[in-house]
Structure 1
Amino acid sequence: MTLFLTILEKVLEINRELNDVIDLSADGLVVSDSDGTLLRMNKAYEQIVGVKAQDFIGKPAAELKKCGVLPEVVTTRVLESGKQENLCLRIRGREVLLTGRPIFDDEGKIFRVVATIRDLNELNMLKEQVQTFKELHDRYLAELAQLRAKEVKVDIVADSAAMRRTMDLALKMAQVESNVLITGESGTGKEVVAKLIHRASQRRDGPFITINCGAIPPALLESELFGYEPGAFTGAKRSGKPGLFETAQGGTIFLDEVAEMPLDLQVKLLRVIQERVCFRLGGHKPVALDVRIIAATNKNLPEMIAGGLFREDLFYRLNVVQIFIPPLRERKEDIPSLVMHFLAKFNKKYHFQKRISPEAMGGLLHYSWPGNVRELENTIERMVVLSAGDTIEPQLLSENGPEFRTPPTGSRLLRDVMEETEKIMLVSAYEKHGSTRTVARALGISQPSVVRKLRKYGYKIRE
Structure 2
Amino acid sequence: MSDIDRAVVSTIVETASDHFFIVDGDGRVLDVSPGAAAVYGLPREQLVGSTVQELEAQGVLRPSISLEVIRTGRPVQLMQVTGTGRRVIAEAHPVHVDGRLERIVSRSRDLTDLQLLQDEYALLQKRFSEHLKRSGAGAGHEDGQLDEAMGSLEIRSDLMRELALLLKRVAPSDATVLLLGESGVGKSAFAKQLHRWSRRRQGPFIEVNCAAIPENLFESEMFGYQPGAFSGAARQGKAGLLEQAEGGTLFLDEIGELPLPMQTKLLKVIQDGSVLRLGDTRPRRVDFRLVVATNQDLARRVESGGFRLDLYYRLNVIPATIPPLRERREDIPALAEACLERLNQRYGQHKLLHGSVWSELMGSDWPGNVRELENWLERAWLSSPDELIQSPTRGDGAPPAMTSAVTPAIPPSMVAEEGLAAYLARVECEVLAALCQELPSTYAIAERLWISQPSVVRKLKRHGLRIERRAD
What TM-score bracket applies, with the shorter chain setting the length?
0.5 to 0.7
- Match of 2:271, SS state, is helix
Is 1:398 matched up with 2:376?
A: no
Counterparts of 1:116-131 in structure 2, within 5 Å, are: none
Counterparts in 2 of 1:158 and 1:445: CA distance versus 1, 3 Å: closer
1:242 and 2:220 matched = no
Q: Secondary structure at the match of 2:150?
A: helix
TM-score (norm 2): 0.60
1:378 matched to 2:371: no
CA offsets per residue over residues 319-365 of structure 1, 9 Å max, x none? 11111111111111111111111112212222222221232111122
CA deviation vs aligned residue, 1:179-222 (integer Å, no higher than 9, x gap) = 11111111111111111111111100000111111100111111
Aligned partner of 2:313 among 307, 313, 316:
316
Contact 2:361 2:399 (C-alpha < 8 Å) held by counterparts: no
Paired position in structure 1 for 2:250: 253
Unaligned runs of 5+ in 2: 1-132, 437-459, 465-472
User: 1:54-453 maps to which residues of 2 (within 5 A)?
Assistant: 144-150=145-151, 155-394=152-391, 396=392, 398-401=394-397, 404=400, 406-410=401-405, 412=406, 414=407, 417-418=408-409, 440-442=418-420
What's the CA shift for 1:442? Answer: 1.9
Counterpart Cα distance in 2 of 1:454 and 1:307: 47
Question: 3-state SS of the aligned residue for 1:246?
Answer: helix
Deviation for aligned residue 1:455: 5.3
Please state whether the residue corresponding to 1:418 is helix, strand or coil.
coil
Give the residue type in structure 1 aligned to 2:147. Q
* Displacement after TM superposition at 1:157 (Å): 1.6
Query: Counterpart of 1:390 in structure 2: which amino acid?
Result: E
**CA gap 1:192/1:451 in 2 versus in 1, 3 angstroms:** closer
Distance across 2 between alignment mates of 1:238 and 1:389: 55
- Indicate the SS of the match to 2:292: strand
Task: Indicate how the Cα distance of structure 1 residues 182 and 407 shifts in structure 2: closer, same or farther if over 3 A, else same.
Answer: closer
AA partner of residue 214 (structure 1):
A
Say what the alpha-carbon RMSD is for the aligned residues.
Answer: 3.2
**1:450–1:310 distance in 2 versus 1, CA, 3 Å:** closer
CA distance in 2: counterparts of 1:187 and 1:162, whole angstroms: 17
Question: Deviation string for 1:13-32 (max 9, x for gaps)?
Answer: xxxxxxxxxxxxxxxxxxxx
Describe the superposition over 1:399-434 as per-residue Cα deviations: whole angstroms up to 9, x where unpaired. 444664x54323x2x4xx127x77xx99xxxxxxxx
Query: 1 CA distance for matches of 2:311 and 2:425?
Result: 55
Report which of the two structures shows the higher radius of gyration computed on alpha carbons.
1
The TM-score with structure 1 as length reference comes to 0.61
2:367 match: secondary structure: coil
Pairwise CA distance, 1:366: 1.8
Letter in 2 for 1:398: R
Preserved CA contact (<8 Å) 1:454 1:461:
no
**Do the aligned residues in 1 keep the contact of 2:191 with 2:291 (CA within 8 Å)?**
yes
Retained in 2: the 8 A contact 1:141–1:164? no
SS in 1 for 2:280: coil
Q: For 2:243, give the aligned amino acid.
A: E
Q: Give me the identity figure in percent.
A: 39
Instruction: Give 3-state SS (helix, strand or coil) of 2:161's partner.
Output: helix
CA distance in 2, matches of 1:385, 1:202: 41
1:116-159 residue CA offsets vs partner (Å, 9 max, x unmatched)? xxxxxxxxxxxxxxxx9989988876554332122xxxx21221
* Structure 1 residue 450, shift from structure 2 partner: 8.4
Distance 1:287 1:173 in 2: 27
Deviation at 1:451, TM superposition (A): 7.1
Unaligned runs of 5+ in 1: 1-131, 427-435
Query: How much has 1:384 moved relative to structure 2?
Result: 1.2
**CA pair 462-276 structure 1, distance change in 2 beyond 3 A:** same
- Measure, in 2, the Cα distance between the counterparts of 1:199 and 1:253: 13
Give SS of 1:149's match.
coil
Q: Equivalents in 2 of 1:447, 1:288: separation in Å?
A: 53
